[in-house]
Amino acid sequence: MTVPRYWLVVPAAGSGQRMQAECPKQYLRIHDRFVIDIVLSRLLNSATFEGCMVALSGSDQWWPSTNSCADSRVTTCKGGAARCDSVLAALQALGHEARDEDWVLVHDVARPCLAHTDLSALMTGLAQHPVGGLLATPVTDTLKQAGPERQVLATIDRRLLWRALTPQMFRFGALRQALMSAAGAGLSVTDEASAMEHMGAVPMLVEGRPDNIKITLPADLALAGFILSQLPDQPVH
């Protein structure tokens, strides 16, 4: 049995307009560190990756101020118009080094609260799986389907519903093919699993912690700081 190889891809080319900040959210600070530095150091210090590709916006002027930019394990490439374009660009940039059967983990730069235990559960839990999968958490709220006037049309049975988180982990060749195929079909997929599903693959859900939040709104930054200070496995300082 061959030892699996893992690559890390971090799409970081979003503008994060909902944060209403003067810089993209990965360059906001938590405990005096850039979000992107927290994300990359947490991942790179808790697992062994062959390499790490970060997709940056062409107009990014903040990356040179980070600690990560001096980290020899990290390489950057230019992202695209949507998240899926940025992930595909990163895979293409790794294309001459990664093998089709290698695993690639894709993690949002806006999720700094990933617990080491969740990363390990994903990597070890799916290491021998043919397709791969993603961290996810069961929906706990009651879900309403709304009509055009915001009137309740139905209450959705939540027992089979999960929230998709990251990292998402798939075979390099299959994921690249799936993202190219989605792009060719004009589909703007919002996660890697959807691209794989469009190819007929069946990704697995690995239950992760619900506090692996994506920083989206201004209030999320303070919440992320609190979560990080409570995680049992973290030193963020």
Polymer length of the chain = 237
Residues 231, 232, 233, 235, CA torsion sign: positive
Beta bridge partners of 10: 54
Binding to ligand C5P by residue 79, rule CB under 6 A? yes
Q: Which is nearer to ligand C5P, 106 or 126 (CB)?
A: 106
Residue of the chain from 81, 152, 160, 185 that contacts ligand C5P (CB under 6 A) = 81
The piece of 73-81, 115-123, 177-185, 194-202 that touches ligand C5P (CB under 6 A) is 73-81
Please, which residue, 5 or 162, has the CB nearer to ligand C5P?
162
Residue ranges with strand state E in 51-207: 51-56, 74-78, 103-106, 132-138, 143-146, 152-156, 162-171, 204-207
Q: CB under 8 Å to 64, separation ≥6 — which residues?
A: none
Selected binder of ligand C5P within 211, 214, 223, 225 (CB under 6 A): 214
Rank residues 14 and 133 by Cβ distance to ligand C5P and give the closer one: 14
Told to check if 195 binds ligand C5P by CB under 6 A, we report no
Residue 163 binds to ligand C5P (criterion: CB under 6 A): no
- The CA distance from 178 to 217, in Å, is 30
In terms of Cβ atoms closer than 10 Å to its own Cβ (0-12, 13-18, 19+), residue 54 is buried
- # of chain residues touching ligand C5P (CB under 6 A): 17
Where does this chain bind ligand C5P (CB under 6 A)? Answer: 11-14, 16, 55, 79-83, 86, 108-110, 214, 216
